[in-house]
Amino acid sequence: MNSVTLTGRLVRDPQIRYASQSQMAVANFTLAVDRVRTRDGKEPTADFPDIVAFGKTAEIIEKYAAKGSLVGVTGRLQTRSYEKDGRKVYVTEVVAERVDLLGRKQDDAKAEPGPPGFYKMEDDPFVKFEDDIPF
């Protein structure tokens, strides 16, 4: 089974291009995905996987996501190769089958409102914890 699920923030604005023959949108972006804190107490590090999305998913990313946006990506891992300067170059990336817009960084966000169901993490009532929780 080839299945990948990631949650992270866009490292930079997504790059959008359109396929020459089909005019299908293609979005490329990189996520900063935190690793789990280690047992020895060291600060967690991050991984930076490259993501590619096609069609409507790419168009939504172009319209609503920007550097710092928090997104969830579900897809598959893919390795491809090409020739550059006479040598073979291998690329491993995640092909997104679904991208969920989870929130976005306030100061880097695009001004447009998001699609239905889009919210900012700071507006989520479950994120704000009170000191009087009974357990």
Compute the radius of gyration of the chain from its Cα atoms: 18
Model pLDDT for residues 1-10, shown as the tens digit of each residue: 999 999 999 9
Q: What token pair was written down for 127? A: 């994120």
Quote the distance between the C-alpha of residue 72 and its chain's center: 6
pLDDT exceeding 70 applies to what percent of the chain?
76
pLDDT of residue 23: 87
CATH class of 4-36+44-123: mainly beta
* pLDDT, mean of residues 74-89: 94
Q: What are the boundaries of each domain within the chain?
A: 4-36+44-123
pLDDT exceeding 90 applies to what percent of the chain?
61
Q: What is the mean pLDDT of the chain?
A: 80
pLDDT of residue 87: 96
pLDDT of residue 44: 74
Phi/psi of residue 39, each to 5°?
A: -70, -30
Helices (H) and strands (E) in the chain, counts: 1, 7
